[in-house]
Amino acid sequence: MIQSKRTIPLLLFTFYLILLNVSFGQENLKSIRVPDGRRVDVSTLDLHIKKAMDSIKLPGLSIAIVNNDKIVYHNTFGVANLKTKEPVTEKTIFEGASLSKPLFAYFIMKMVEEGKIDLDLPIYSYLESIFPDGVIEKDSFEAYKTLTPRIILSHGTGIPNWVKGKPITIKFKPGTDFSYSGEAYQHLGAAFGTKLGIGWGTRLDSLILKEVAHPIGMHRSLYTWNTKYDKDAARGHIDGKTNPEINKYKKVGPGFSLHSDAEDYAMFLIEMMNPKNIKASTRNEMLKEYNHFKPDSKLLKETGQTGWGLGFAQKPTPYGLMHLHTGNNHDFQAYAMFIPKQKYGFVMFGNSNNLFLLLNTLEQLLGEHF
């Protein structure tokens, strides 16, 4: 094809504009926006993390930051196993510990949308036919029979965090106070699996992945173990000592058993700020404060958090309401937060018991995140 003399300059100009746009796009990727409006250079952040990890002897890390519904920063540092010195890579997955809870809460809300569970129907109605004797203290049984998914997801059950095989004692009228409870989440998982007739093993996990994880782009996350991840699993560490075993959970632990990484979990934070897989009204229900802390609350006094929605804790900040959750399986720790008003999200996974020291150091650079 013969081009006219006019066409050639036009093509060159168009090519110049494309290069200019690419150049600006690459420039934007060199920094991230933090909640207080500042921009932080990625190179500065990388160096800060490396120095802090060396200082506190944190073995491995996966970290991601969201700006405007996009993952603008994702990086991995350190080793997945101190003994073998295997590096953390983009394929490495970590125990998410209690970051399991918000994702499971999101799954339950999706099931509420689909009419598969009632948010305000007591879970005992699903468990009654199989409920074993001795699980609940006699004096607490009537209170237990009033527990609903809404009360459980907002930690208003009165059940201890974990009872470790002992009979459950409910310490206040459900729905009237706050008591963080992984144990209660386990009962919700068992109730829902029983209602559907699928139990709470791999079939429940497969449903979670199908209904919520995969549709929002979480393709390296799971609640029950799959052997295809044997080579990708980080090992946990306590005070520098490596746990050589992988916790290969066979049952869904809504309160603790999630394996994931920062990039995958950041997709969940994006979904919470800009829902595509659930209705905006359902997301709004999740983020309402259903359990407001009393004035003498330890969490309120120590952290400034004011209450709990259906899955996340809440804390007012000068830049908007922060929704957050910690995770602690001792040899693995994790943390996630997002501020919808700022379209900002942050998540980190570590394979040891000192990740929160890193978070304290990162706040010196990025500003308040907890």
Task: Compute the average pLDDT of residues 197-216.
Answer: 98
Task: Compute the average pLDDT of residues 131-140.
Answer: 92
In a domain, 10, yes or no: no
Q: Which tens digit of pLDDT belongs to each residue from 337-358?
A: 999 999 999 999 999 999 999 9
Beta bridge partners of 73: 65
pLDDT at 21: 42
The Cα–Cα gap between 342 and 329 comes to 30
pLDDT at 343: 98
pLDDT at 15: 45
Residues 56-81 as b/e (b if ≥16 CB within 10 A, e otherwise) read eebbbbbbbbbbeeebbbbbbbbbbb
In a domain, 2, yes or no: no
Q: Which tens digit of pLDDT belongs to each residue from 235-255?
A: 999 999 999 999 999 999 999
Q: Which tens digit of pLDDT belongs to each residue from 286-335?
A: 999 999 999 999 999 999 999 999 999 999 999 999 999 999 999 999 99
The separation between CA 1 and the C-alpha centre of its own chain, rounded to angstroms, equals 56
Q: What is the value of pTM for the model shown?
A: 0.91
- The yes-or-no verdict on residue 76 having pLDDT over 50 is yes
Q: In 3D, which of 73, 37, 41 has the Cα closest to residue 342?
A: 37
In a domain, 325, yes or no: yes
pLDDT at 23: 36
Domain assignment of residue 197, given as a range: 43-366
pLDDT at 165: 87
The Cα–Cα gap between 330 and 351 comes to 9
pLDDT at 28: 43
Task: Compute the average pLDDT of residues 12-30.
Answer: 45
CATH number of the domain within which 260 lies: 3.40.710.10
Q: Which residue has the tokens 């052997």?
A: 227
pLDDT at 132: 87
Q: In 3D, which of 280, 242, 261 has the Cα closest to residue 336?
A: 261
pLDDT at 130: 87
Q: Which residue has the tokens 């073995």?
A: 59
In a domain, 56, yes or no: yes
- 3-class SS shares of the chain: helix, strand, coil, % to 5: 40, 20, 40
**Which of 11-15, 60-64, 140-144, 257-261 is the least confident region?**
11-15
The separation between CA 20 and the C-alpha centre of its own chain, rounded to angstroms, equals 37
User: Which residues make Cβ contacts (< 8 Å) with residue 141, sequence separation at least 6?
Assistant: none
The separation between CA 229 and the C-alpha centre of its own chain, rounded to angstroms, equals 20
Q: Which tens digit of pLDDT belongs to each residue from 112-123?
A: 999 999 999 999
Binned at pLDDT 50, 70 and 90, residue 70 comes out as very high
The separation between CA 34 and the C-alpha centre of its own chain, rounded to angstroms, equals 19
The Cα–Cα gap between 283 and 84 comes to 43
pLDDT at 234: 98
Q: Which tens digit of pLDDT belongs to each residue from 49-59?
A: 999 999 999 99
In a domain, 20, yes or no: no
In a domain, 159, yes or no: yes
Binned at pLDDT 50, 70 and 90, residue 126 comes out as very high
Q: Which tens digit of pLDDT belongs to each residue from 163-205?
A: 998 999 999 999 999 999 999 999 999 999 999 999 999 999 9
The Cα–Cα gap between 36 and 281 comes to 28
Task: Compute the average pLDDT of residues 25-46.
Answer: 85
pLDDT at 24: 36
DSSP code for 260: E
Binned at pLDDT 50, 70 and 90, residue 131 comes out as confident
Are 292 and 270 in contact, with CB atoms under 8 Å apart?
no
The Cα–Cα gap between 70 and 79 comes to 27
Beta strands in the chain (DSSP E): 31-33, 39-41, 60-67, 70-81, 86-87, 94-95, 237-238, 241-242, 259-260, 291-292, 307-308, 313-317, 320-328, 333-339, 344-350
Tell me how many domains the chain contains. 1
The separation between CA 257 and the C-alpha centre of its own chain, rounded to angstroms, equals 12
